[in-house]
Structure 1
Amino acid sequence: MKNNISADDLAVLLAVVREGGFRAASQRLGIAASKVSTTISRIETQLGTPVLRRTTRSQHLTEAGQLLVDRVGPLLSAVNAACHDVATFGGQIQGQLTLNVPGAVMPDILPPLLAAYRTQHPDVEVEITVDSGLVDIVAAGCDAGIRYGSVLEQDMISIPIGPRRQQMAMAASPAYLDAYGVPQVPKDLTAHVAIRYRLDAGPLLPWTLQCKGQSVKVEPQNALILSVGALNTGLRYAQEGVGIIYTFRNWLDDDFESGKLLPVLPGWWPYIEGPHLYYPSRFAPKPLRAFIELCQATPAEA
Structure 2
Amino acid sequence: MMAFLAVARERSFTRAAAKLGTSQSALSHTIRGLEARLGVRLLTRTTRSVSPTEAGERLIGSVGPRFDEIEAEIEALGELRERPAGNLRITTAEHAAQSIVMPALERFLPQYPDIHVELSVDYGLVDIVAERYDIGIRLGEHLARDMIAVPVGPPMRMAVVATPGYFERRTLPRTPQDLTGHNCINLRLPTYGSLYAWDFEKDGREVKVRVEGQLILDGMNAIVRASLAGLGLAWVPEDVVSRHVEAGTLVRVLENWCEPFAGYHLYYPNRRQPVPALTLLVDALRYRG
TM over 0.5: yes
Cα distance change, pair 162–43 in 1 and its aligned pair in 2 (3 A): farther
User: Deviations for 1:57-92, whole angstroms, at most 9, x for unmatched residues?
Assistant: 112223332332233333223222322333550511
For residues 1-302 of structure 1, the aligned pairs below 5 Å read 10-148=1-139, 149-154=141-146, 156-163=147-154, 165-202=155-192, 203-227=194-218, 230-282=219-271, 283-296=273-286, 298-300=287-289
- Give the CA deviation at 1:166: 1.0
Alpha-carbon RMSD across the aligned residues, in angstroms, is 2.1
8 A contact 1:78–1:284 mirrored in 2: no
Provide the C-alpha distance between the structure 2 equivalents of 1:190 and 1:219, rounded to a whole number of angstroms: 8
8 A contact 2:157–2:258 mirrored in 1: yes
8 A contact 1:167–1:249 mirrored in 2: yes
- Give the CA deviation at 1:32: 1.1
- Give the CA deviation at 1:274: 1.5
- Give the CA deviation at 1:150: 4.7
Provide the C-alpha distance between the structure 2 equivalents of 1:153 and 1:68, rounded to a whole number of angstroms: 23
- Give the CA deviation at 1:171: 0.5
Instruction: Letter of the 1:255 partner, please give it.
Output: H
TM value normalised by structure 2: 0.90
Cα distance change, pair 57–241 in 1 and its aligned pair in 2 (3 A): same
Secondary structure at the counterpart of residue 109 of structure 1 = helix
- Which moves more between the two structures, 121-130 or 137-146? 137-146
Provide the C-alpha distance between the structure 2 equivalents of 1:71 and 1:102, rounded to a whole number of angstroms: 31
Cα distance change, pair 218–128 in 1 and its aligned pair in 2 (3 A): same
Secondary structure at the counterpart of residue 268 of structure 2 = strand
Cα distance change, pair 254–40 in 1 and its aligned pair in 2 (3 A): farther
- Which moves more between the two structures, 176-185 or 83-92? 83-92
TM value normalised by structure 1: 0.86
Provide the C-alpha distance between the structure 2 equivalents of 1:118 and 1:52, rounded to a whole number of angstroms: 39
Provide the C-alpha distance between the structure 2 equivalents of 1:150 and 1:29, rounded to a whole number of angstroms: 33
8 A contact 1:17–1:139 mirrored in 2: no
- Give the CA deviation at 1:151: 4.1
Secondary structure at the counterpart of residue 214 of structure 2 = strand
- Give the CA deviation at 1:175: 1.7
- Give the CA deviation at 1:153: 4.5
8 A contact 2:182–2:212 mirrored in 1: yes
The total of aligned residue pairs comes to: 286
- Which moves more between the two structures, 58-67 or 272-281? 58-67
Provide the C-alpha distance between the structure 2 equivalents of 1:168 and 1:159, rounded to a whole number of angstroms: 22
User: Deviations for 1:207-250, whole angstroms, at most 9, x for unmatched residues?
Assistant: 111122222122322221122xx122211111111111111111
Secondary structure at the counterpart of residue 223 of structure 1 = coil
- Give the CA deviation at 1:112: 2.1
